[in-house]
């Protein structure tokens, strides 16, 4: 019994002392794909002045989230910022292709514990089609996502690849002034890191098969853009996030295989409010957006982007 008791204490402390590093990975994947794919469309329904055939664009983006989870061991905040460079090409008849690549850099601050530095590098494409009062969009992105933590002079580096496809459909009931535009989006996001070691003061957990797979459904209602020096489009929406892989962490601690919950719900509801703006000037136009929201597990976030387009 004297030998078994320390082992039980070690397992209990190591497995449940820090859920935030695992829960934050799911949020990071969701936020990265949401911020990236949610802002790559440059011909949104109602922005009639965006019909240039070819353009290059440069975009800056940023995201901040704070989670005060129902689990006391899954509280943290994270932020990242980045840049994207893209090429937009018109195929004629209101069909457009985008090719883009970029990166983000940020930090996860775990309350009362150590911090992770994060980075990602990605590339992707999107297709947009406008047909009267309807819009169809398809986007695909993938790349590298990594975290780095130095804790008690030991380096921990969970890293791997991610991939995310998305389908978007929007329609305007009629082309009258301020007629609402309804949008539906379906997105998959998968993150597949290599096995790695998670270190704590009480021991080392060898994390195995830690893939994270998410499905997001989003509905949005926006006004028809109206112009007052700038072109404005406010919107509100709701979304649901479903994590069907990675909600439980599998690993080995002292040669014993174990698994435990990452500390947040695998199904989350999210409500948001936002604003998009557009300003055109000769061959240039400036597009921007800002969105804030709250989910069902005591987490709020805000993200924004600003892009400059040059038509040639």
For residue range 97-119, what is the model confidence (pLDDT) as tens digits?
Answer: 999 999 999 998 887 667 889 99
Beta strands in the chain (DSSP E): 54-68, 75-92, 95-110, 115-131, 134-151, 154-156, 159-172, 181-193, 196-200, 203-208, 212-222, 226-228, 230-245, 248-253, 256-261, 267-281, 284-295, 299-311
Contact of 40 with 100, CB cutoff 8 Å: yes
- Tell me what the mean pLDDT of segment 10-27 comes to: 60
Asked if the structure places residue 293 within a domain, the reply is: no
Asked if the structure places residue 292 within a domain, the reply is: no
Asked if the structure places residue 55 within a domain, the reply is: yes
Asked if the structure places residue 231 within a domain, the reply is: no
Q: If you search the block for the tokens 């949005």, which residue do you land on?
A: 220
Asked if the structure places residue 248 within a domain, the reply is: yes
Q: How many domains does the chain have?
A: 1
Asked if the structure places residue 182 within a domain, the reply is: yes
| Of 244 and 61, more confident | 61
Query: Residue 43 belongs to what domain range?
Result: 4-225+240-267
Contact of 41 with 168, CB cutoff 8 Å: yes
Asked if the structure places residue 245 within a domain, the reply is: yes
- Tell me what the mean pLDDT of segment 201-210 comes to: 66
Beta strands in 9-133 (DSSP E): 54-68, 75-92, 95-110, 115-131
For residue range 45-104, what is the model confidence (pLDDT) as tens digits?
Answer: 666 545 567 889 999 999 999 987 655 555 788 999 999 999 988 887 788 899 999 999
- Tell me what the mean pLDDT of segment 117-122 comes to: 95
pTM for the whole structure:
0.84
Domain with 143 in it: what CATH number? 2.40.128
Asked if the structure places residue 144 within a domain, the reply is: yes
Q: Give me the pLDDT at residue 11, please.
A: 42
């Amino acid at each position: 019994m004297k030998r078994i008791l320390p082992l039980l204490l070690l397992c209990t402390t190591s497995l449940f002392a820090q859920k935030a590093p695992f829960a934050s990975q799911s949020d990071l994947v969701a936020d990265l794909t949401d911020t990236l794919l949610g802002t790559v469309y440059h011909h949104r329904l109602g922005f009639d002045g965006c019909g240039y055939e070819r353009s290059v664009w440069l975009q800056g983006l940023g995201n901040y989230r704070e989670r005060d989870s129902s689990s006391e061991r899954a509280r943290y905040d994270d932020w990242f910022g980045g840049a994207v460079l893209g090429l937009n090409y018109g195929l004629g008849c209101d069909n457009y292709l985008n090719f883009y690549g970029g990166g983000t850099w940020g930090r996860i601050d775990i309350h009362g514990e150590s911090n992770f530095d994060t980075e990602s590098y990605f590339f992707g494409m999107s297709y947009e089609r406008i047909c009267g009062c309807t819009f169809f969009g398809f986007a695909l992105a993938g790349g590298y996502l990594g975290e780095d933590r130095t804790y008690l002079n030991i380096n921990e580096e969970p890293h791997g690849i991610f991939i995310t496809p998305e389908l978007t459909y929007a329609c305007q009931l009629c082309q009258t002034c301020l007629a609402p535009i309804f949008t539906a989006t379906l997105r998959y996001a998968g993150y597949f890191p290599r096995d790695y070691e998670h270190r704590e003061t009480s021991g080392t957990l060898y994390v195995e098969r830690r893939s994270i797979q998410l499905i997001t459904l989003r509905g949005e209602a926006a006004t028809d853009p109206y112009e007052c020096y700038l072109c404005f489009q406010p919107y509100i929406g709701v979304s649901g996030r479903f994590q069907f892989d990675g909600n439980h962490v599998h690993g080995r601690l002292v040669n014993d295989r174990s698994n435990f919950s990452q500390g947040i719900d695998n199904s989350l509801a999210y409500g948001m409010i936002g604003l998009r703006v557009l300003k055109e000037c000769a061959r240039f136009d400036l597009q921007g957006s800002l969105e804030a929201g709250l989910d069902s597990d005591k987490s709020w976030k805000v993200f924004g982007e600003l892009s400059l387009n040059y038509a040639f």
